[in-house]
Structure 1
Amino acid sequence: MQKRMADRLHDYWDAGIRGPDFVWAATGPALEAYSRYPVVKKANSPGEVMRVSEFLQHVRRLVVDFVVGRVLSETGGLEAVSGLDDITTYYLLHRYDFGMEPAPIGAVILYAVSCGLSDTTLTHQWDLLSRSASARDDDGAADEDDETEAADEGAKGDTARLKTWRQRTGKALGEDVPGRPAPLIDQIHRLMHLWAAGEVAPVDAYLDRRGLRRNALFPPLLQALIELSEAGSQERALLESLSNHVQNRGLAPDRVQPRFTGMED
């Protein structure tokens, strides 16, 4: 499956295919590999049959990692996303295709399922999405019916959008809670709140406590967020000054960027 998809993904990307269409386009070549055999069994569970839904989950995640790899690095590749958590992966995928604008709920569900998540948990548990009032909530379970549900939900015209860093104000933002390590995107949003407050000491303390200076994914994620943010926005200004500070740890306190006020997201 991986061998069959590798060249196809590059071809689709070079052809300008983006968004949900890119995810769906990869399904055909992958199923060609799966359908060659009457039964496909799991290598790590001898005798256990791999269902089509499980196979497609692996396919979708491979496609997602390909796209996010392109967002994080010019050369892309699966190594670019190695170790990246699911929440941050979803955020980058959604942000790249839809920015901060409303996205069709069908695409949101497809992206969430592809990352092993659900739109409901992203909305209520992680406080990452803002759903339209007419959108229907469910139990958040991801299964083989999710693609049908995505199509049904999308037909209703429901939408969801990413919350801005300013809208994400939970006390636990960027902190580990039992069973839920802090996603990297949450840690960056926490840093943005600390940096906007205008004091460098809490920023450095958080960077050191979370080991972010040693995290190989942290610098490319910061750069990707800068490139995805709107030119002239407060978000970009904060990210750029924060990135400069991280690259220059010896920055004197009197040279720290002043607190940003009176600017729109």
Structure 2
Amino acid sequence: MIVFVTGASAGFGAEMARTFVKHGHQVVMAARRMDRLDALARELGESALPVEMDVASKESIDEALSMLPQSWRQIDVLINNAGLALNTLPAHQVPLADWETMIDTNCKGLVTMTHALLPAMVERGSGLIINLGSVAGAYPYPGGNVYGATKAFVEQFTLNLRADLVGTGVRATNLAPGLCGGTEFSNVRLKGDDAAAAKVYEGTTPLTAKDIADTCYWIATLPPHVNINLIEMMPTCQGFGPLNIRRA
């Protein structure tokens, strides 16, 4: 099968590319950082196709898809992996630009990619869309504000896809991880403060990019009559705390 992975230059996306190629599939690896994609393509060989693309730009998406070689255009699995969190400040202190970037990437980018590839899947009567959500979409926490809201959007959008796609043979899944280490997620969120990012994972055994990639592969290789609506994953070191209460 042909798998299209957004945000493939690092973290979850790069590991997803490795996992699918290792099992004999073709992967279109899309991201903004072409140097990283080229390095990954050299590692993975002819079954990996690097494509420069910014999901926050419809023009970039349209151009990238138009330039795909004909033999790579029948996308069987779309993994909407590109996404980010910015800032941990309370809502009244976060720059509006951070909110806009998260919405443009996590919501608008995801729906634009889906809108571009979904009609052909429905026409063929097969296909799978895996959207990368987060436990933040279900459980609010201080500093989560718009990031959590974008992931709640991902969850509801995925469920509504399921409602529309009944009987078409096209499947949709929301994969929602909790604490994951070994990626750039916290470094990006904390604006390059590597020491603060490292503290997020201090003393923990978090999920890894490989855990997420292996789960994606399992979802994608289930029999075509099976749809996984939602998978919520957490490491055993993470759980649920009391409600946030501010005391005088």
> Is TM (by shorter chain) over 0.5?
no
Q: Which has the larger radius of gyration?
A: 1
Q: TM-score, normalised by structure 2?
A: 0.30
Instruction: Give 1 or 2: higher helix fraction.
Output: 1
Which has the higher relative contact order, 1 or 2, with Cα contacts under 8 A spaced 6 or more apart?
2
Would you tell me which structure has more strand in proportion to its own residues?
A: 2
